[in-house]
Chain A
Amino acid sequence: MTTSPTVSRATAVAARATDLSKVYGQGETQVVALDHVTVDFRQGEFTAIMGPSGSGKSTLMHCVAGLDSFSSGSVRIGETELGTLKDKQLTQLRRDKIGFIFQAFNLLPTLTALENITLPMDIAGRKPDKQWVDRVIDMIGLSGRLSHRPAQLSGGQQQRVAVARALASRPEIIFGDEPTGNLDSRSGAEVLGFLRNSVRELGQTVVMVTHDPVAASYADRVIFLADGRIVDEMLSPTADGVLDRMKAFDAKGRTS
């Protein structure tokens, strides 16, 4: 964690799924959620995963983030292969190397904003890097509200605390599951802005599942999923571009 972001790091892979499949049920009732997906998430890149509901976008994120098991293939976070890990090791991996931002229920109502931010380090029994935490808090603009409890914060502020929490432990990769799903457009834009800044300014790696083309437009790269397969990819996306692409899938889906 002492090295600063460099060019070589920017091209390295933070997480990689190879030939990843996830199947629910058996025989007649079998549902294929992920169908031989291979994808890289590069360091220092902000990736959005999109797709219609049921496309497997959340499942992909859950499997790569070590939240869910998969049927075949492999997932690596950095140098660690997830498939062979037991629950305990997976938990440790999530704690030390991954940050999470969920759609809702991101914060513990009993803890203050600051305590929520440092919770992963508390769990790990590590002393938070004060300078880093201060920098993150500054960036997120929460300095005045650190002693507030979640109930005293607005939805947008709560989600900003969640972003700060994900960043504070300097994970190798941050996963967001519809992080702006519950927010109004202004708060959503703020949160997305922070995520993009964290990638640009702090060299963070972020992977986010969303169904909102505007949210996706904040990313460096958008991956489109349909029926458990990656069907397209877009670099430097715009909201309109993403929307057009989505509409195209929809139309194809209907005609086929």
Chain B
Amino acid sequence: MFRTALRNVLAHKARLLMTVLAVMLGVAFVSGTLVFTDTLSQAFRNQSAKSYDDVAVAVSMYPSPEDAAKTPGLSQDVIDRIGKLDGVAAVSGRVDGFAGVPDKDGKLIGVGWSNKGTNFAPGADGKDRSYDFTQGAGPVRDGQIALDKDTALKGGYKVGDTVRVATNGPVKEYTLSGVFTTEDGAVSAGGSLVLFDTSVAQQQYLKPGFYQDATVVAAKGTDADKLLDEVLKIVPEAATAQTGQALADQQAKDIEAGLGALKQVLLGFAGIALFVGVFLIANTFTMLVAQRTKELALMRAVGASRKQITRSVLAEAGVVGLVASVVGYGMGIALAVGLRSGMNAFDLKVPDGPLVLGATPLIAALSVGVLITMLAAWLPGRRAAKIPPVAAMSSVHAAASTKSLVVRNSIGAALTALGAVLIVLGASKGGDDGRMFIAGGAFVTLIGVIVLIPLLSRPVIAVIRPLFVGAFGVSGKLAGLNAVRNPRRTGATASALAIGLTLVTGLSVLGTTVGAALDKMTTEQIRADYLVSMASGEGMNEDALAAIEKTPGATAVSPQLAGWLTLKGKGVSASGVTPGDIEKLIKLNTVKGSLDSLGQGRIAVAEKTATKQGWKVGDTLPVEYVDKKKGKLTVGAVYEDSEFVSPVLIDAEIITAHEQQSYIPQIFVSMDGGASAANEKALAKAMGDNPAVTVMDQKDIRDLFGGQINMLLNIMYGLLAMALIIAILGVVNTLAMSVFERQQEIGMLRAIGLDRRRVKRMVRLEAVVISLFGAVVGIGLGAFLGWAIGETLKSSLPGYALVLPWDRIGVFLVLAGLVGVLAAMWPARSAAKLNMLNAIKAE
């Protein structure tokens, strides 16, 4: 039986082409993902191992706010004492934070989150082990810095040049003392690194005389664990210490976890692509079985059992799956390599490392490919087994199964209805629970629609058909009729496309709706002309606030200082603001009391928190600040909750009085004359033209949200592309089958006067009809799901209103039509090229 299967595969090479391609792409996606993440994780692991190579013990101290009041970090004294321990060869203290360098055009070099600054910590020999200087030397006094090689190159800086360095306050100028190379992770990830003199860095990031980290290098033959014990005795309680080995392991674990999430997302999308491929494979094997009815009946007649027939079809599928998987695995490796160089090209630098080809991706690729193919061929295989031996005797091929679809339709309708009910239920429920319902409902509905789709094909296509007849005459009419001739096949083909479009549309609806809500919220609630923040996403310091307050033309300035208060034993986050100005900058609806009371040292509480805690205007609450100092605060006002401030408002100065370093994520500013180029310039100037500072007007804020949503959507579209490509292959496959089966008809049509052009058009339009059908089903379902998920977000998104992205939906429909035209290119050409006489005589 296996030999027959093998021969069948070889005999139908051309007809199996699309199946092989589909499995190949799916498998390539899976193995590409696995190889890519394996390679990446190995590279990161190597790097972290390397950077902790000769570190015996690493100490860190990031104290909580209250501890920070006592000791903000590791003091010089602690460092010195560690240095005197037995077996310690060297110890260096580190303090780091954000530091950015502009290029020639004044733009920040590197991506915001990986612009790092730290201290140059030379040992007794005047060298810092972590940095190899290629030019000049390390910074040893105020006013000097060193830069990593790539950054110096990008900015065109040479030793001796003046470099402007942006930190969390106004920009300062330094002289470049040297250029170095390093193993530092931030740098190899495409960021930039600025080295300051230790005292400058301490001043900048912590407090003079203190460090955040210390690395200890041991003399040869020293036991790291013993050294760790010694070090632990010296460092403050709030500090943590680990051996270098443990730290490297920890980092490797973190990397693994991070990449694991990425891997799961990618595999999820690969799964969708493979699922879509199932339809194509099932279609192909259904056709192969139908065409071989006589042959299979003959085998039954000469004594093959049903099981043997099914097995022969499955064996055939297995062979196809195996061949496709092997090629797919190869493609996956190429994909992994391409992805990595692609990331480098986009400045998302990943550390170099060899390609890791583990056993798992290979096994996964082969088993996924073979199993999917066999699974998809299982139903056709069972159908093949049901062919009665007597079919061998009949003179004509058994017609395509016209078995009643009643059972199938009932099941489909029931599933669809059940799913829809779940979705609506979930939408009305809202929140996380609601979303769980929707997820379950979406799955059930999708299956229901797939089961039901052959039934849907007739009425939906009947609606499209008149348009086609009107526009394309007889070709359009025949195309429309042909499309519903084999509803199961049309349905399966359209399903593949519908799945992709359901997801694409659902995401688009959601993205557009959320975007519109954010837009509305921004427009309604932000009254300030400008929002000043750091590109790094970090906070600014008080110098920045002071600089902005002094900007000429500034009429109202308020920070949104991140604070923490323990009110009546309950910890709440508080926004430190400028009394009197804040209500001019952000729309705050006072429910009770007056925001003016902030000026008298009172606090304002958001309505929900006030209700929950039972705090009322006039209540005086005991408070504990982060530095453990205690006091009393009176509630002066209650305001409606706002997305832009914390649930408690307080005069910023009260907060800063109790903190070492204030953390200001945002500063709101209104200026004379509103948002204008001149005002923006004035603000930038006040911040010393700091490239790390972004000054956004309202439009910029809206664009920022819009841009983020768009980027997310584009990533999703990109990941769904593979599923869509496979769906397109499915359309090609179906059309090729149709043309093959209808050779005689096409021959007859050609004989009675249908010219080649219109034969082509007929095939093309059939593809367009099928694609549009799939698109309509997918878009409908996607919009429904988008609406449902949107409903669950209603409570957390004020101003939420469903927005259907008609422009995008229109684009999807046009693209679906184009997909049809594209998919039909090859089948249409082969239909037009048919030799009429052979076609008519065939059989």
B591 within 8 Å of A by Cβ? no
B19 within 8 Å of A by Cβ? no
B843 within 8 Å of A by Cβ? yes
B432 within 8 Å of A by Cβ? no
Q: Which of A67, A104, A119, A165 contacts B474 (CB 8 A)?
A: A119
Closest residue on chain A to residue B753 by CB atoms: A95
Interface set, chain B 723-750, CB cutoff 8 A to A: 744-745, 747-750
- CA separation between A222 and B754, bound complex, in Å? 31
Could you tell me the distance in whole angstroms from the C-beta of B479 to the nearest C-beta in chain A? 10
Could you tell me the distance in whole angstroms from the C-beta of A104 to the nearest C-beta in chain B? 7
- CA separation between A88 and B756, bound complex, in Å? 8
Q: Are B837 and A104 in contact (CB under 8 A)?
A: no
- CA separation between A216 and B747, bound complex, in Å? 26
B485 within 8 Å of A by Cβ? yes
A96 within 8 Å of B by Cβ? yes
Interface set, chain B 472-488, CB cutoff 8 A to A: 473-474, 477-478, 481-482, 485
- CB-CB under 8 A from B748, the residues of chain A are 100, 102, 105-106, 108
- CB-CB under 8 A from A65, the residues of chain B are 751
Q: Are A91 and B482 in contact (CB under 8 A)?
A: no
Could you tell me the distance in whole angstroms from the C-beta of B486 to the nearest C-beta in chain A? 11
Q: Are A110 and B473 in contact (CB under 8 A)?
A: no
B752 within 8 Å of A by Cβ? yes
Q: Are B756 and A110 in contact (CB under 8 A)?
A: no
B225 within 8 Å of A by Cβ? no
Q: Are A92 and B753 in contact (CB under 8 A)?
A: yes
- Given A100-B751, A110-B485, A122-B474, answer yes or no on A67-B837 (Cβ-Cβ < 8 Å): yes
Type the 1/0 row for A106-137, where 1 means its CB is closer than 8 Å to any CB of B: 10111100000001101111000000000000
- CB-CB under 8 A from A110, the residues of chain B are 478, 481-482, 485
Closest residue on chain A to residue B396 by CB atoms: A104
- CA separation between A240 and B613, bound complex, in Å? 113
A16 within 8 Å of B by Cβ? no
- CA separation between A94 and B474, bound complex, in Å? 17
Could you tell me the distance in whole angstroms from the C-beta of B759 to the nearest C-beta in chain A? 10
- CB-CB under 8 A from A88, the residues of chain B are 755-757
Q: Are A123 and B843 in contact (CB under 8 A)?
A: no
- CB-CB under 8 A from B755, the residues of chain A are 87-88, 91-92, 95
A245 within 8 Å of B by Cβ? no
- CB-CB under 8 A from A95, the residues of chain B are 752-755
Closest residue on chain B to residue A88 by CB atoms: B755
Q: Are B753 and A120 in contact (CB under 8 A)?
A: yes
- Given A108-B745, A110-B478, A119-B474, answer yes or no on A102-B840 (Cβ-Cβ < 8 Å): yes
A62 within 8 Å of B by Cβ? yes
- CB-CB under 8 A from B585, the residues of chain A are none
- CB-CB under 8 A from A102, the residues of chain B are 748, 751, 840
Q: Which of A62, A87, A91, A99 contacts B837 (CB 8 A)?
A: A62
B616 within 8 Å of A by Cβ? no
Closest residue on chain B to residue A62 by CB atoms: B837
Q: Are A91 and B478 in contact (CB under 8 A)?
A: no
- CA separation between A65 and B755, bound complex, in Å? 15
Q: Are B756 and A87 in contact (CB under 8 A)?
A: yes
Interface size on B, residues (CB 8 A): 25
- CB-CB under 8 A from A123, the residues of chain B are 474, 749, 752-754, 758
- CB-CB under 8 A from A62, the residues of chain B are 837
Could you tell me the distance in whole angstroms from the C-beta of B552 to the nearest C-beta in chain A? 77
Closest residue on chain A to residue B747 by CB atoms: A105
- CA separation between A122 and B749, bound complex, in Å? 12
Type the 1/0 row for A79-106, where 1 means its CB is closer than 8 Å to any CB of B: 0000000011001101110011010111
Could you tell me the distance in whole angstroms from the C-beta of A60 to the nearest C-beta in chain B? 13
Could you tell me the distance in whole angstroms from the C-beta of A15 to the nearest C-beta in chain B? 16
- CA separation between A95 and B843, bound complex, in Å? 25
B452 within 8 Å of A by Cβ? no
Q: Are A91 and B840 in contact (CB under 8 A)?
A: no
- CB-CB under 8 A from A105, the residues of chain B are 744-745, 747-748, 840, 843
Could you tell me the distance in whole angstroms from the C-beta of A226 to the nearest C-beta in chain B? 21
Q: Which of B744, B747, B750 contacts A91 (CB 8 A)?
A: B750
Interface set, chain B 342-379, CB cutoff 8 A to A: none
Q: Are B843 and A91 in contact (CB under 8 A)?
A: no
A40 within 8 Å of B by Cβ? no
- CA separation between A108 and B842, bound complex, in Å? 16
- CB-CB under 8 A from B753, the residues of chain A are 91-92, 94-96, 120, 123-124
- CA separation between A177 and B748, bound complex, in Å? 12
A138 within 8 Å of B by Cβ? no
A19 within 8 Å of B by Cβ? no
B836 within 8 Å of A by Cβ? yes
- CA separation between A122 and B476, bound complex, in Å? 11
Interface set, chain B 617-661, CB cutoff 8 A to A: none
- CB-CB under 8 A from A177, the residues of chain B are 840
A68 within 8 Å of B by Cβ? yes
Q: Are A119 and B752 in contact (CB under 8 A)?
A: yes
- CA separation between A128 and B747, bound complex, in Å? 23
- CA separation between A96 and B474, bound complex, in Å? 16
Could you tell me the distance in whole angstroms from the C-beta of A77 to the nearest C-beta in chain B? 13
Q: Are A68 and B837 in contact (CB under 8 A)?
A: yes
Type the 1/0 row for B104-127, where 1 means its CB is closer than 8 Å to any CB of A: 000000000000000000000000
- CA separation between A107 and B752, bound complex, in Å? 11
- CB-CB under 8 A from B749, the residues of chain A are 108, 123
- CA separation between A86 and B475, bound complex, in Å? 21
- Write 9 A-B pairs (CB below 8 A) sorted by A numbering: A88-B755, A92-B755, A95-B753, A99-B752, A108-B478, A119-B474, A122-B474, A123-B749, A125-B474
Known: A91-B750, A91-B755, A94-B753; 7 extra A-B contacts, CB below 8 A, are A96-B753, A104-B744, A104-B843, A105-B747, A119-B474, A123-B474, A124-B753
**A residues engaging B (CB < 8 A)?**
62, 65, 67-68, 87-88, 91-92, 94-96, 99-100, 102, 104-106, 108-111, 119-120, 122-125, 165, 177
Smallest CB-CB A-B distances: 9 pairs: A95-B753, A110-B481, A105-B744, A91-B755, A122-B474, A94-B753, A123-B753, A123-B474, A120-B752
**B residues engaging A (CB < 8 A)?**
473-474, 477-478, 481-482, 485, 744-745, 747-758, 836-837, 840, 843
